[in-house]
Chains A and B, each alone.
Chain A
Amino acid sequence: MGLFDRFKKGLQKSRTTLAERLGSVFRSRKLDESVYEEMEEAFIAADMGVETAMALVENVRTLARKKRIEQAEELPDLMVEAMSAMLSEADSDMNFAAEGPTLVLVVGVNGAGKTTTIGKLANYYLQQNKRVLLAAADTFRAAAIEQLLAWGERAGCDVVRHSQGADPAAVIYDAIQAGRSRNADIILCDTAGRLQNKTHLMAELAKIHKVAARELPGSPHEVLLVLDGTTGQNGLNQAKVFKEVVDVTGIVVTKLDGTAKGGIVVPIVHEQGIPVKWIGLGEQIDDLQPFDARAFAEAVCRP
């Protein structure tokens, strides 16, 4: 199955709901103000937020004027164009260390899917014949370490861990030492879920970041914020605060195989300039895919 089909299949539900809404709007209608109003509401209903929805509609309107389009049926093309332009404002490629291990820090709120994402990332890189090491720095939640161990076993890589309640920064420290001595290519670090308004937990995260930067210069090479695809406008807050504290370099959107549209990523890219790098389309170990702005926009907008 090609990448695009996969995207399309995974996003089937998001596609049908937005497309269903818009299908009736686009069918044999002249392009007037009411079409744009309904388009705006559909964008809002896809969690894109009022401001971004308005900005997107404005972009579509400009495109339509430039191309002298009069029938509503031609709008989907323009929507894809406008949305993928907005999503491509930031670069979606992963950064790697020039030499030595690449350290990827995975952060996010509770229940976003961090541990699962790490399991899938590990599998992805193992298949590319990279040596992967996992660091179980979620020392807070009950059985989080066991969960990561299960993923490590499933994917087939080592897990550096301490016991529950240990200092997460110390786990990262050990993981870096182990990564060096075992010649790992990639170290994937799990962290405990934290709500972005908990100052002390965010301070803990800053410390983890600091320790990584000190022990492995240039790291973390990637800080991935895992975002539940069902998240609403709060996702924007999450992106903002996590970016301030640990300088997030990319977003992973998970759980997009439901009816959730993940529309919140559009304002995040647009307003915070953080690119989306991965997208989770299901529960299987290989259901995590690199993000493709065009494919995402196509899948979401095309009726």
Chain B
Amino acid sequence: MLEGLSSSLQKAMGRLRGKGKLSEADVAEAMREVRLALLAADVNVKVVRDFVERVRERAVGQDVQKSLTPGQQVVRIVYEELTELMGGSQARIQMASKPPTVIMLVGLQGAGKTTAIAKLALSFRQHQHRPLMIAADVYRPAAIDQLHVLGKQVDIPVFDMGTDTSPVEIVRQGMQEAERQGADVVLVDTAGRLHIDEDLMAELDDIKSAVEPNEVLLVVDAMTGQDAVHVAETFHQRLEVTGVILTKLDGDARGGAALTVRAVTGCPIKYVGLGEKIEPLEPFHPDRLASRILGMGDVLSLIERAQERIDLEKAKEMEERMRSSTFSLNDFQEMFRQVRNLGPLDQVLKMIPGMNKLKGIENVDLNDKRFLRMDAIISSMTAAERLDPSVMNASRRRRIANGSGTTVREVNQLLNQFEQTQQMMKRMSGMGKKMGRRSAMNAIKSMGGLGALGGMKDASQLADLEESLTSKGTSHAPRQRHHRAKKKRK
């Protein structure tokens, strides 16, 4: 996500990077690229103007730091200003001191309110809360059915009174129901409306005074264009929005709306929605997104995900086996499964620094189905074959292909890949000590030398990292990535 903006910014910054000293003309040239990139990313015209001005001022009159070249320093300034523009540090949901905490979702039609509310409810339940969802969208056909279906999917209660009762009455009764059920978080789904529709906006006012929400979250589609400003401004004036949920960020929209909304309204972006599958919403991390925009990858998110979803015991076991180089097809299969747990592969790859710079990465087929097929192939092997693939002959290969519903070619491909991985593992186990023993990371080490990037937090380190990635490749990480990418393309 956002890689479009990221690559054009990188292009602009690339020109500065080599310079020892920055002239005003150099900065002006880079700033023009930044401006175009931000405009193409749907960042509001005025916001862009201010942003570019701020960066220019800081860049020209920059306080020289010994550790950074002027070029790196501009990258750093853009990074810092981007983070600042998107709201500094991460903003959390305000919980009520006396439950229930009431959260109301508002927004235009089709922004993704109903989907977001189900995901939000799931996030709360994950943190041991007892949410109740109130269906107050009485206008769109089947909106209430939709919430019911989603509620059933995630097993969270939904309160509704059909479409004949006024939304204000629905939420009033819904609050009583919440008390009766002992729900400690109440989520109110409202109908999508245009911000200029006076009657419907007045209705939101009424709902708001009926439930006195702790949070009013504005749901904004990441694909929104320049109009995001008006929408956010009007909703904010009317309802004192306390935060924003940015949806559909799994698309290829550059998401300039994220930059705009915060700058114009001062409301922090609290969550981002990725996809229609009901999974917990991801908290929004402005600093991480800024580094993602600059092509530095989102290593922190990846590590967090890895810690959450990779089975530590298994990872440790595998680490042992890797070191002792008894890495078998069983481990290979386990490795796939662990990596798959991290989420869709294309999303995972985008979090790795420098990944979006690899030429042709967009064309690499990252279909997760391939993993399923590889899984099937290994499952069709006998225990002996898995431990020692050298016994494999033509007839065994045919049997495996038939058993897994694949072709002999695919079986051969898998065996080749296994061999390559095995060799890589051997090299890696040599490096293991240098890389710090993050056992959770071992399972995904083969995707790039992530372990080394683990502790990276602040901007200067990121800038250094950026530098090292673009220089001749003295670090091991980019080389391995090339290796991997080539393999994928086969």
User: Contacting A196 at CB < 8 Å: which of B140, B149, B226, B251?
Assistant: B251
Question: Which residues on A sit within 8 Å (CB–CB) of B369?
Answer: 200
CB distance from A253 to the nearest CB of B (A): 12
Question: Which residues on A sit within 8 Å (CB–CB) of B223?
Answer: 109, 228, 231-232, 234-235
Secondary structure at the B interface, as helix, strand, loop or mixed, is loop
User: Contacting B142 at CB < 8 Å: which of A46, A47, A147, A200?
Assistant: A147
User: Contacting A195 at CB < 8 Å: which of B41, B141, B224, B250?
Assistant: B250
User: Contacting A234 at CB < 8 Å: which of B111, B228, B251?
Assistant: B251
| B140–A110 touching, CB < 8 Å | no
Chain B residue at smallest Cβ distance from A14: B227
| B276–A228 touching, CB < 8 Å | no
Q: Complex formed: what's the CA distance from A220 to B228 in Å?
A: 35
Chain A residue at smallest Cβ distance from B200: A283
Interface string of A120-156 (1 = CB under 8 A from B): 0000000000000000000011111011011100100
Interface string of A34-58 (1 = CB under 8 A from B): 0000000100111101100000000
Interface string of B20-57 (1 = CB under 8 A from A): 00000000000000001001111011000000000000
| A41–B45 touching, CB < 8 Å | yes
B150 at the interface (CB under 8 A from A): yes
B308 at the interface (CB under 8 A from A): no
A197 at the interface (CB under 8 A from B): yes
Question: Which residues on B sit within 8 Å (CB–CB) of A235?
Answer: 223, 225
Q: How many A-B contacts at CB < 8 Å in the complex?
A: 143
Question: Which residues on B sit within 8 Å (CB–CB) of A164?
Answer: 149
B221 at the interface (CB under 8 A from A): yes
CB distance from B204 to the nearest CB of A (A): 15
Question: Which residues on B sit within 8 Å (CB–CB) of A237?
Answer: 252-253
| B226–A234 touching, CB < 8 Å | no
Which of the listed residues B141, B223, B231, B248 has the most CB atoms from chain A within 10 Å of its own CB?
B223
A233 at the interface (CB under 8 A from B): yes
| B276–A141 touching, CB < 8 Å | yes
CB distance from A300 to the nearest CB of B (A): 14
A197-B252, A259-B230 given; A233·B42 CB < 8 A: yes
In B391-439, the 8 Å CB interface with A consists of: none
Chain B residue at smallest Cβ distance from A200: B367
In B205-233, the 8 Å CB interface with A consists of: 221, 223-228, 230-231
A112 at the interface (CB under 8 A from B): yes
Question: Which residues on B sit within 8 Å (CB–CB) of A232?
Answer: 42, 223-226, 228, 253, 256-257
Known: A110-B110, A228-B223, A230-B225. 17 other contacts (CB 8 A): A13-B196, A44-B39, A111-B110, A141-B146, A143-B146, A143-B149, A147-B140, A147-B141, A150-B142, A195-B250, A231-B221, A232-B226, A233-B225, A234-B254, A258-B227, A258-B230, A259-B196
